């Protein structure tokens, strides 16, 4: 553990203030023939911001007003990961991705859902995740996902400036992001599927690395990397990457990537 980094274990006063619950076993959405369980807690309490910061460093993720993390008895495949911003290098490939998306302009908004965002999300889900759990999401569901947050949450909109004069700039991507004391936590992002050749998903992550550096924040939290899950392998493209191992964060090594 780095000397300057707060401990990932929760202080006793935090624990006394919170109640943790465990879900019943459910089919694992990432690995076949396995079940998952989660431990979760309600974030809609006093001092939610500090609680959320501490829980995130302890491997939790936020969904609306709930903080959760895997609690599977016989599996350790899900690992909380974060990008080490200070040591991150923009390789030739990463610079190409940034260059391919120079038409995009990022603008922060309060965590408020719009119909325009929802239309883009539906296009994204229909094209990329038509069989996923969010495929049937309604606008009301989307409003809850975006606006139900007891912590500091921003939705970054990305609009193209390559439009005819006088035309409204189209929304090309969006990223729902929590702003933490030590970094940015990417909750959910989506983009125009017509831009797929420009690697917009990778661009959003790289842009968050740039933003974190501008803000003097050392980390970008990406959620869970699931060893053995092909759809989660993309997260290991952003090394130097740290993962939570017990109570400590350490760098992901080549050996960690062997399923």
> pLDDT of 201-228, one tens digit each?
999 999 999 999 999 999 999 999 999 9
pLDDT band of residue 257 (cuts 50, 70, 90) is confident
pLDDT of residue 220: 99
What is residue 47's predicted lDDT score, i.e. its pLDDT? Answer: 85
- The confidence band for 15, taking pLDDT boundaries of 50, 70 and 90, is low
User: Residue 220's beta-bridge partner residues?
Assistant: 83, 184
Cα separation, 226 vs 230, in Å, equals 8
pTM: 0.90
**C-alpha–C-alpha distance, residues 259 and 255, integer Å:** 9
What pLDDT score was predicted for residue 231?
A: 86
Res. 14: pLDDT tops 50: yes
Domain boundaries 85-215, CATH class? alpha beta
Look up residue 182 and give its DSSP letter: S
Cα separation, 207 vs 225, whole angstroms: 20
Domains in the chain: boundaries: 85-215
Q: What is the tens place of the pLDDT at every residue in 144-169?
A: 999 999 999 999 999 998 765 545 78
């Amino acid at each position: 553990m780095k000397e300057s980094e707060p401990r990932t274990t929760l202080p006793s006063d935090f624990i006394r203030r919170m109640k943790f619950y465990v879900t019943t076993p459910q089919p694992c959405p990432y690995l076949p023939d396995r079940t998952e369980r989660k431990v979760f807690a309600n974030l809609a309490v006093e001092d939610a911001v500090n609680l959320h910061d501490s829980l995130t460093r302890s491997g939790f993720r936020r969904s609306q007003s709930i903080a959760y993390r895997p609690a599977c008895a016989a599996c350790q495949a899900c690992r909380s990961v974060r990008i080490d911003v200070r040591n991150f290098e923009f390789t030739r490939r990463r610079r190409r991705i940034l260059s391919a998306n120079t038409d995009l302009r990022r603008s922060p908004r309060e965590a408020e859902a719009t119909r325009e965002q929802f239309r883009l999300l539906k296009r994204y889900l229909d094209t990329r995740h038509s069989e996923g759990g969010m495929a049937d999401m309604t606008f009301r569901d989307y409003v809850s996902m975006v606006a139900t947050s007891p912590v500091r949450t921003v939705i970054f909109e990305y609009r193209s400036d390559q439009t005819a004069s006088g035309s409204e700039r189209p929304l090309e991507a969006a990223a729902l992001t929590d702003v933490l004391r030590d970094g940015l936590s990417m909750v959910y992002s989506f983009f125009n599927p017509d831009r797929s050749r420009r690697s917009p998903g990778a661009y959003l992550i790289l842009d968050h690395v740039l933003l974190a550096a501008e803000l003097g924040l050392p980390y970008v939290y990406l959620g869970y990397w699931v060893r053995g899950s092909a759809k989660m392998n993309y997260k290991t493209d952003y090394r130097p990457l740290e993962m939570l191992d017990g109570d400590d964060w350490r760098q992901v090594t080549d050996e960690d990537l062997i399923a």
